[in-house]
C-alpha cells in the first residue's frame, strides 16, 4: 500500500478509543482508492493560531488532512472542530531544525532522553487530542537523528498514529 493509500485509509470509519484520547468519530470515506494510477493526499499544516484560516479550510469541503501545531491559541479548538467535520487531524510535531528557524517553546530535540520524548509527545497530543497521525514541523535535524526517531516511532505505534516526514 502506497503512502497516499495509507493516509486515505485513515479516513475510513474509526471507532476505537485510544488510551487518553477521546472516542474517534466516523469519517467520510475519500474517493475510491482502488482505481489504478497516481493518488494525492492533501495535508495543510501550521494550523492552530488563526480560527479564520481554519474556517476557510473547513469550507473547502474536500477530504483534507489538517496538521495542527500544539500550544497555539486555538490548537485544541481547531483540532476538535476538524474532527467534528470529518477531517483527518495530525499533530504538527515541533522538532529541531537544521536551519536557524525560531524554535517552538516545546519541541523534540536531539539528545533528549526517552522519557523526555515520551513526555513531550504525550503533552502535545493532549493539546491536539483528535490527532490520527503526526508530521514534523521544521524537524530536519531531529528527523535525521536515528536515536531520536528510534524513540519516537514506537511511541507513535503504541498510540496507533501514523507519521509523515
- For 24-72, what is each residue's pLDDT tens digit? 444 444 445 567 888 888 899 999 999 999 999 999 988 899 999 999 9
pTM for the structure as a whole: 0.77
What's the mean pLDDT in 88-104? 86
23 band by pLDDT with thresholds 50, 70 and 90: low
Cell numbers found for residue 10: 485513515
Sign of CA pseudo-dihedral 15, 153, 4, 133: positive
pLDDT at residue number 5:
42
Residues 6+ apart with CB under 8 A from 23: 15, 17
Tell me how far apart the alpha carbons of residues 125 and 153 are, in angstroms, rounded to a whole number: 14
Amino acid at each position: 500500500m502506497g503512502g497516499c493509500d495509507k493516509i486515505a485509509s485513515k479516513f475510513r470509519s474509526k471507532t476505537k478509543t485510544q488510551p487518553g484520547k477521546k472516542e474517534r468519530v466516523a469519517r467520510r470515506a475519500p474517493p475510491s482508492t482502488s482505481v489504478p494510477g497516481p493518488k494525492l493526499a492533501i495535508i495543510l499544516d501550521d494550523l492552530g493560531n488563526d480560527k479564520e484560516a481554519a474556517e476557510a479550510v473547513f469550507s473547502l469541503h474536500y477530504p483534507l488532512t489538517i496538521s495542527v501545531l500544539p500550544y497555539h491559541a486555538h490548537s485544541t479548538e481547531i483540532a476538535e472542530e476538524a474532527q467534528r467535520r470529518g477531517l483527518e487531524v495530525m499533530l504538527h510535531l515541533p522538532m529541531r531544525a537544521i536551519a536557524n528557524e525560531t524554535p517552538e517553546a516545546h519541541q523534540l530535540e536531539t539528545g533528549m532522553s526517552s522519557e523526555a520524548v515520551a513526555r513531550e509527545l504525550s503533552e502535545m497530543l493532549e493539546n491536539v487530542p483528535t490527532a490520527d497521525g503526526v508530521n514534523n514541523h521544521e524537524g530536519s535535524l531531529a528527523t535525521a537523528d536515528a536515536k531520536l526517531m528510534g524513540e519516537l516511532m514506537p511511541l507513535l505505534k503504541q498510540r496507533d498514529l501514523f507519521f509523515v516526514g
